[in-house]
Structure 1
Amino acid sequence: MVTPSRITLARKRRGLTLAELSDRATVSLQSLSNYETGRTAPRPDTLAKIASALDFPAAFFEGPALDELPAEGISWRARSKTSARVLEAARAAGTLGAMLYEWIEDRFRLPAVNVPSLGKPDPETAAGMVRTGWGLGEASAPNMVHLLEAHGVRVFSLDPDHAEVDAFAVWRDGVPFVFLNTLKSAERGRFDAAHELGHLVMHGSEHACSGPEAERQANEFASSFLMPRASVLGHMPSGAHVDQILRGKQIWNVSAMALTYRMHDLGLLSDWQYRSTCAELSRLGYRSGEPQGMGQRETSQVLTKVFAALRSKHVRPGSVAAELGLTSEEMNRLLFGLTFTTFKGEGRHVTAPATLNLSIVP
């Protein structure tokens, strides 16, 4: 039995209109409209053409209905001119990620959700409250992906083909999800993770979570969370030169630009010093990248441990993908840059951090 909503979801995932899918699948526009609304169901040969055009296994369309991630609850961190079609494709991918996590939760006991909803305090206060609640004190934040996962946030990667979307976060049925662009520098990835945490904490489903003001608040939360006021004031001199900033950013594993902004915000750099420092950093390549930065991005310990445990039971990632009705390539996009797992052939050895214990559901 074909599930109409799955045809719609797969089409959105590929960023296609009904007319474009009609051309690709050589199926009439009216027929496709009928299939998506459930007025009629495609014959097996027609479904095969649709599946091929969308690069989804035919079995995907015969699964149970999927609830898409709530569009009104998503905080997008994307370029201002990013098309609605790209955002819809990212949201559809997020729905597939939620489907994968439901599969995982049926088999593993994952960390409980421990992300506070603080309404709308000022971002610096909110960041301090979360740091205190999580026992971080004034220390540099550890691996941000590990930190989010340890407190119940489900973390996935965004499709590398949609580089214009930096990240997004959303609450779904009381579970927080974060999707990260894993093509950016490690330092910028940490900031994106903290930014999305800010949205989850300050802009839950009952609060506005989009627009310039919400983005400003999330940026201030991330800056305060990663670079606590007392820590920065204690380590960085007033009027610091570029070489001091480049050394100092290693304390908090942030980008040089982020530390420069934070120092200006805290009054350690005057307006003139801030502008001239940004200009010098830009000349050195720190606006578009992070020369001599952390290098390796922070990866997922939950997903890596899950697939390591599955491999120990001779369950290959490709088998998981097939059970979900996905191609290996589709599932790989959800994990790209977050695990060492590969899906073709034997793959590389999977190494998993030892700081998080996952138990298998009996």
Structure 2
Amino acid sequence: MGAVARLDVEVRERRAAGVAVRFDPLRLALARRLRGLRRTELADLIRVTPAAVSQFERGQTRPTLPLVAAMSLALGVPAEFFTLGRSLQPGSASSPHFRSLRTTSQLQRDRALAFAELAADVVTALEQHVELPHLLLPDLRAPEAPDLADIAQLAAEARVHFELRPGPVPHVVRMLEAAGVLVLRLPEISQTVDAFSAHLPTRPVVLLNPAKGDAARARFDSAHELAHLVMHFDAAPGSRIVEKEADSFAAEFLMPADEIVDELPRRLDWEKLHHLKQRWGVSLKALVYRAHHLGVLTPNAYRRGMQQLNEWGYPEPGPLSAIEVPTLMQLTFELLEKSGYGVDQVADELHLPVPVIAEILKAGSDPRPQLRLA
């Protein structure tokens, strides 16, 4: 019997086995993107056409039960994941703001976003058992083509909204989590992707890249993604203009001009700049650029400073004490475990492999070992 004939037999047998009545097409698309597979690749694995996979993901047709079993095997999730009673929330409420569109493939971005979507779905399920912070982000839609003064005003309004005192922001990640933002560290499968953010249907998310290993850059990344969440709800992601606006917002949010201008040195004083790095929690490069932008450093001093920093490279001299990490997922699971609802129970409820839940928990937890005193 030829290959085409065998495939025809398989198709007839699948049809005879009946279709999956409660199949959720969005869960199929999510599982495929999480595995980093194209539709053609999944089609080869489950022995159907790419068009059939597209129809399944769009909800135009439903797969048979044997096909659901094949999808389960190919994508590494239980078959029940595709027929979970609680439907997945469709798509993003806004376009995700990926910074490096040219250096990361669409497949890599899809995989990272799928991880964020799945984590947000897990959080939605956990909210049936524990009350999590409500969304308290300000809505600071930037005017069309905002200038630097507009962005500085928006950053000042954001500081007022978060009730920040004058001076450095104590902890950007905790501030985001307290405002209802799901902050996660990108898993190893997606660390080629830079930090990004998106408004998902359930709550906004920020994904940070732990591979950078630099506390100052991580704080700036968090403030940069905050800018996208509060200013760029409808802006086209990836453009240089939008990214520069987010950088300007982050600089003003972390280093308000009227507060830092008198502290900045009038010449390249690296000892003074190191002190300011520790005080404000920003990089030397950000400080040198800020001093130049505010007219404190001359263009020649700015060029010499950047040349020196480029020679030093990363990580910069004088690192900060510790990288800010999210803890919301960690604290949530610790609270649930006290009532006997742990990782295994979450995995059973959501029909997900335990390692997947563990990966999400890891992404939202402090990786450092904890010392507990009796």
Q: Which of the numbers 24, 38, 55 marks the counterpart of 1:3? A: 24
Q: Structure 1 154/324 Cα, relative in aligned 2: closer, same or farther at 3 Å? A: same
The residue number in structure 1 matching 2:325 is: 299
The residue number in structure 2 matching 1:114 is: 136
Shift of 1:99: 0.4
Q: Which shows bigger deviation, 78-87 or 272-281?
A: 78-87
Equivalences for residues 147-158 of structure 1 within 5 A:
147-158=175-186
2: CA distance, partners of 1:126 / 1:303 = 30
Q: Which of the numbers 287, 291, 305 marks the counterpart of 1:263? A: 291
Percent identity reads 33
Q: Once the two structures are superposed, what CA deviation does each residue of 1:169-215 show, in whole Å capped at 9, x if it has no partner? A: 2224484322222222222111111011111121124x555521111
Q: Would the aligned equivalents of 2:343 and 2:354 in 1 still touch at CA under 8 Å?
A: yes
The residue number in structure 2 matching 1:359 is: none
The residue number in structure 1 matching 2:164 is: 136
Q: Would the aligned equivalents of 1:160 and 1:181 in 2 still touch at CA under 8 Å?
A: no
The residue number in structure 2 matching 1:187 is: 216
Q: What SS is found at the alignment partner of 1:70?
A: coil
Q: Which of the numbers 73, 77, 82 marks the counterpart of 1:52? A: 73
Shift of 1:225: 0.8
| TM-score of the aligned structures, taking structure 1 as reference length | 0.85
2: CA distance, partners of 1:166 / 1:196 = 11
Q: Would the aligned equivalents of 1:69 and 1:170 in 2 still touch at CA under 8 Å?
A: no
CA RMSD after TM alignment = 2.6
2: CA distance, partners of 1:294 / 1:56 = 40
2: CA distance, partners of 1:326 / 1:292 = 43
Structure 1 residue 92 corresponds to structure 2 residue 114: yes
Give 5+ residue unaligned stretches, structure 1. Answer: 343-347, 352-362
Q: Would the aligned equivalents of 2:268 and 2:305 in 1 still touch at CA under 8 Å?
A: no
Q: What SS is found at the alignment partner of 1:166?
A: coil
Shift of 1:306: 0.6
Q: Would the aligned equivalents of 2:89 and 2:201 in 1 still touch at CA under 8 Å?
A: no
Q: Structure 1 53/132 Cα, relative in aligned 2: closer, same or farther at 3 Å? A: same
Q: Which shows bigger deviation, 150-159 or 251-260?
A: 150-159
| TM-score of the aligned structures, taking structure 2 as reference length | 0.82
2: CA distance, partners of 1:216 / 1:335 = 32
Q: Which of the numbers 99, 103, 108 marks the counterpart of 1:81? A: 103
Q: Structure 1 325/77 Cα, relative in aligned 2: closer, same or farther at 3 Å? A: farther
Q: Once the two structures are superposed, what CA deviation does each residue of 1:31-82 show, in whole Å capped at 9, x if it has no partner? A: 5344334455444443232222212222211124323432753222235332
Number of paired residues? 343
Q: Would the aligned equivalents of 1:69 and 1:94 in 2 still touch at CA under 8 Å?
A: no
